[in-house]
Amino acid sequence: MNEALLTLIAAAVPGVLIALLAHQLDLRRDVAEERRISQNARTLLRLEVTANRTALQNFWTTINALDTPDGRKNANDHLAAMTERGLLSYPLPEWDFSRWERLPARALSAFTTAELAQIDALNRGIRAFNDLYKQLITITPDEMAELNKDRFWVNRFSGWREGIFTRLTSAVEGALRAPLPLK
């Protein structure tokens, strides 16, 4: 009986060792896959965030360049000059939030809490900018009737929208001043 038991053990040991080795290889493969998913998520999200922030900076620089630096006495004069030189015809850039909005839950572990907070704050800032800019350039029919009364319409318009423009400026400066997440 002892021989049969020893033979059984001798026959089972290689199978057990192979099973353990296969399990270890599966674990390594799973860890490598998780690492790859994390790296890809970080890279793709970094590209999205950088593109959105660059688009915001380029757009803001472009529309502010409608007014010469010497014309920037105050926000009202700056807005009037920008409006006179075509501000109302500048469309907003196309923002991309698809990677952020569709980020799989398992990829969240690739980011620190601070990075997630920075990305969220930047995206919220861009959305706030979007809303404020639309408020800035949208003219109601009543406002249009008032603006069409004479050639000084840009001064009236800038007076009406100075508060929105000030908030818009603060939103952009905050978004651009914040450190770029995912360096």
Question: What are the boundaries of each domain within the chain?
Answer: 40-177
Instruction: Give CA separation, 14 vs 3, 4, 6, 21, 136, in Å.
Output: 18, 17, 13, 10, 75
Which stretch of DSSP H or E encloses residue 19?
helix 2-64
**What pLDDT does residue 16 have?**
79
**What pLDDT does residue 25 have?**
84
User: Residue 181: what are its φ and ψ, rounded to 5°?
Assistant: -70, 155
**What pLDDT does residue 97 have?**
93
pLDDT averaged over consecutive 10-residue blocks of the chain (183 residues)? 77 81 84 84 91 95 86 82 91 92 85 90 91 94 88 89 94 86 74
**What pLDDT does residue 67 have?**
87
**What pLDDT does residue 63 have?**
94
pTM given for the model = 0.80
d(CA 128, CA 88): 18
Look at residues 108, 119, 105 and name the one whose alpha carbon lies nearest to residue 49.
119
* Residue 86 backbone class (left: φ over 0; alpha: ψ -120 to 50; beta: rest): left
Greatest alpha-carbon span in the chain: 113
**What pLDDT does residue 72 have?**
65
